[in-house]
Amino acid sequence: MSGQADVKSIDTLAFVKAALISFAHETGQAISEVELEGRRGIDWITVDQAAYWKAEIRRAADLVNKAIKDLEHCRTFKKVGDNQPSCIEEKKALEKARARLARAEQKAEAVRRWTPVVLQQFRETCVRLVHFQEVVDVDAPRAVARVEQMLRALDAYREVASPRPSGGSGTAGQVQSVARQADEQPPREPVAAAPADPPADPPTGGGG
């Protein structure tokens, strides 16, 4: 089994670290925006719409009262002898005013009925958002720290696996300096060879 790690791209972990940091930041902003938009929707239903349809009921009721008075006026002052006036326009105006009042009352009732429902749903959503934010606030920094640990470990492994000579340039300079000094030295005189030893005298024959 090989004892070496197959590390192809340490930069990928750096990209993962940057992505985690960006995710945590953008998630926090998104959660804030969701909560803000939710509160706007709640206020629109529970405040704006409630006030609008309450005022609309008053306006519709005033129109109904006016239409009733107009109809009574028509029946009283437009009567000719025993003939009752038709008062068609006044009757139509009264029907329209009553329909408008009925619609306003229905809308106001819907707002009253749905207000506690949307408030409860919004509270539950806010609780989930808070839990999600807590997860992001805890797990994202933990993941970033883990990636940083991995990056440091891989950097240390890369230094061990591919050592760089610390004095490489100095050694090359020393070699060049020595070569330069050798070129600058003058050539030495040749050393004369030592004279050869004279040949030994031949042995003389002794007398018997």
Distance (Å, whole) CA 165 – CA 170:
10
- The residues, ordered by sequence, that sit 6+ positions from 103 with a Cβ below 8 Å of its Cβ are 60
Q: What are phi and psi of 120, to 5 degrees?
A: -65, -45
pLDDT in tens, 4-46: 555 567 788 888 889 989 998 899 899 999 999 999 999 999 9
Total residues found in the chain within this entry: 208
pLDDT in tens, 40-98: 999 999 999 999 999 999 999 999 999 999 999 888 876 666 677 788 899 999 999 99
Tell me the whole-structure pTM to 2 decimals.
0.57
End-to-end alpha-carbon separation of the chain, Å? 91
State the pLDDT at residue 194.
46
Q: What are phi and psi of 44, to 5 degrees?
A: -65, -40
The answer to whether 53 and 107 have CB atoms below 8 angstroms apart is yes
Sign of the CA dihedral 129, 132, 137, 140?
negative
Distance of CA 158 to the CA centre of its chain: 31
Distance of CA 63 to the CA centre of its chain: 54
Following DSSP, what letter does each residue of 43-81 receive, concatenated?
Answer: HIIIIIIHHHHHHHHHHHHHHHHHHHHHHHHHHHHS-BT
